[in-house]
Structure 1
Amino acid sequence: MKKFAWFLFILIMLSFGTYYYLPSYLSTTSNTATIEITVPEGASLNYVADLLYKEGVIKSKLWFKYQSQQEGIDRNIKPGSYTLHPNIDFEEIFSLLQKGTLEKPIIVTIPEGFTLYQIAKRTEAVGLGTAEEFIEATKQYFDRKEYNFDTEKVFYEMEGYLYPDTYYFSEKQTVSDVVNTLAKTMEAVFTEEYLKQADEMNLSVHEVLTIASLIEREAYHDQERAAISGVIYNRLKRNMLLQIDATVIYGIGKGQEHISRVLYAHLEDPSPFNTYRTQGLPPGPIAAPSKASIHAALYPEDHDYLYYVLGEGGHVFSKTYREHEINVANYRRMVNQN
């Protein structure tokens, strides 16, 4: 009887402590150093929670989202660059997120499918340092993060690792701040679900980003991303050359120049990015993929297609080379008529 009474007493005390102290504990930040984050235009509550959690600012994404919804913050998140000091509570974070911090923002839009070199030139055009400084900052970020993939054959170490979106920066921010924001935004895209799916597919993040970049450059519209992804996996399983024109273009231009038309002579280019000659995936991403392309890379459509060619309003898919030849002939006829 005494043991039961002690057990009941301990249970009551634990419940009391959980009820009164746990919310307070979860509602304070856990970062021991000042953290700088940038929230892009249109960022969702899930995005902000993932970003804060990965930066070590909050202890629980679920609790942060619950409190945000209770306060109505989820409908009033403003874009901006935020400085988060250690030991602040959620109320201060909520206040910042609702007010925004940029009086005269420098707005830069990075389109989906841009190469790192194009991103560098775009940030230079809006006054965020020079392209050379941007590229150097990506090298420094790469060295700090200690990524574990082979960089011997790539043109830019961080190619594909900078997320394409619209960003709001202040004049006080450095080129390194810009690179950090773009890289951390991409890191936040890889949720626990995505990382688990990649692991189940026996793929590294580098391979996922590489496949996603191919999808990004090949897809005509959103609805066919998963289908193109399926073709890539089907060809890889059969040890077929991927034969993707976008990789040829990237290799010939060394990640900088862009040719508008691929000629037969280009298909003989010895670049490791030439998937008409090199088996398997190219050494790395060829562009900045969107979340939609990353999702397609992780969740390919299950089908038997091995080929596709541009048609009217999108790509036409086929299972045999004979069918593909017919579709190619139809495409050429359509081009000549126009």
Structure 2
Amino acid sequence: MKKLFSLLLILTLLALGAYFYVPSYLSVASNENPVEITVAEGASLNAVAEHLYNKGVIKSRLWFKYQSRAEGIDRSIKPGTYTLHPNINLNEIFELLRKGVPEKPIVITIPEGFTLYQIANRVEIAGLGTKEEFIEATKKYFEEKEYSFDTAKLFYEMEGYLYPDTYYFSERQGVVDVVSTLAKTMESIFTEEYRVRAEELNLSLHEVLTIASLIEREAYHDEEKQRISGVIFNRLKKNMLLQIDATVIYGIGEGREHINRVLFVHLEDPSPFNTYRVKGLPPGPIAAPSKTSIHAVLYPEDHDYLYYVLGEGGHVFSKTYNEHLRNVAKYREMTNQN
């Protein structure tokens, strides 16, 4: 009797061990290296189990089929080519088969200083919608957000409010998703620190983005952005014309066309964006500014410069008009030599 009891105890312990150990053992893959498998369209559960077993991924076809039926995977297998890493478990395999192979993302890169129209063109090239659809989506987003700035003189309401960066979208997304993503990314740039700093400078968000866009289009490199910002603020304080070529270019092209060279005749253009004729800031941004340009607006360099002209490797700054004229002459001489 005692021997029978001992035997029953041993069998019970073995059964309990098998009950707790075997499932966990069978639920972990046996492949030591990444394995690539292809599941054909309409493949049955038996075919998938056989394929995984032959590739050395699963230890038991029966256990795999039992578990997959329990999870309902047998009715939702997605075709595609999967890469299975070592020690992957059945739940992870089931999740892959349920979701399918991740689709290749649509990558859109928006360079810093792009206009809204240029962004719309990039979106169209990427195949997520036409330029017209994108622009219409920006108008709707603007209306929904109820921004509080005057748009009467703007070509595009959301100009400057879409952040330049590299984005990843899926084929299922469209222009509404793109606009929302770019706009929300720009919103996230404005941290509490930036908002408090803007209030300290008595600047609205619209004014910050407008000045940032000027800096973005004017700066030769990031290192001079805060210095250019200082020039803009110095000229505004003195009630001087900003005389920024980039605003003239934007106004003449109405945010779409782009001229490579500003001529004297262009400086007479009646556009409200012509800062050679109109004092103060233009009605709104002229491009998509980067974070470094936004930072430069909020933390301008403190100096007495009022002028700058492009030199070798960047801009040359001056405090007086006569000094500026000498720098301009040097620039012209340099360009003529080249």
Residues 104 and 170 of structure 1 are in contact (CA less than 8 Å); yes or no, is this contact kept in structure 2?
yes
- 1:310 corresponds in structure 2 to 310
Q: How does 1:173-322 map to 2 (within 5 A)?
A: 173-322=173-322
> 1 CA distance for matches of 2:292 and 2:335?
29
1:132 to partner: Cα distance: 0.3
> Which residue in 2 is equivalent to 1:78?
none
SS of residue matched to 2:168: strand
Q: 1:172/1:182 Cα in 2 relative to 1: closer, same or farther (>3 Å)? A: same
Q: Judge conservation of contact 1:102–1:170 (CA < 8 Å) in 2.
A: no
* Alpha-carbon offset, residue 102 of structure 1: 5.5
Instruction: Give runs of aligned pairs for residues 117-136 of structure 1, distance below 5 A.
Output: 117-136=117-136
RMSD over equivalenced CA pairs, Å? 0.8
TM superposition shift of 1:103: 3.1
> 1:174: how far off?
1.8
Compared CA separation, residues 285 and 102, structure 1 to 2 (3 A): farther
Cα distance in structure 2, aligned partners of 1:214 and 1:293: 9
CA distance in 2, matches of 1:144, 1:239: 36
Measured in 1, the distance between the counterparts of 2:154 and 2:126 equals 27
For residues 140-186 of structure 1, give each alpha carbon's deviation from its aligned partner in whole angstroms, at most 9, with x where no partner exists: 00000000000000000000000000000001112101100000000
1:293 is paired with a residue of what secondary structure?
helix
1:164 aligned residue: 164
Q: Is the 8 A contact 1:307 1:320 kept in 2?
A: yes
Change beyond 3 A, Cα 1:282–1:102: farther
In 2, the alpha carbon distance for the partners of 1:109 and 1:309 equals: 30
Larger radius of gyration: 2
Query: TM-score, with normalisation over the residues of structure 1?
Result: 0.70
Structure 1 CA distance, aligned partners of 2:102 and 2:207?
36
Structure 2: tracts of 5 or more residues without a match: 1-100
Structure 1 residues 239-282: Cα deviation after superposition (integer angstroms, max 9, x where no partner): 00000000000000000000000000000000000000001000
Alpha-carbon distance between aligned partners in 2 of 1:251 and 1:107, rounded to the nearest angstrom: 30
DSSP 3-state at the match of 2:196: helix
Determine the C-alpha separation between the residues in 1 that align with 2:141 and 2:264.
38
Unaligned runs of 5+ residues in structure 1 are: 1-100
- When normalised by structure 2's length, the TM-score is 0.70
- Aligned-partner residue type, residue 234 of structure 1: N
Identity %: 80
Q: How does 1:66-145 map to 2 (within 5 A)?
A: 103-145=103-145
Query: Distance between the aligned counterparts of 2:255 and 2:302, measured in 1?
Result: 32
Measured at CA, do residues 167 and 102 of structure 1 come closer, stay the same or move farther in structure 2, by a change above 3 Å? farther
Number of residue pairs the alignment of both structures matches: 238
Name the structure 1 match of 2:336.
Answer: 336
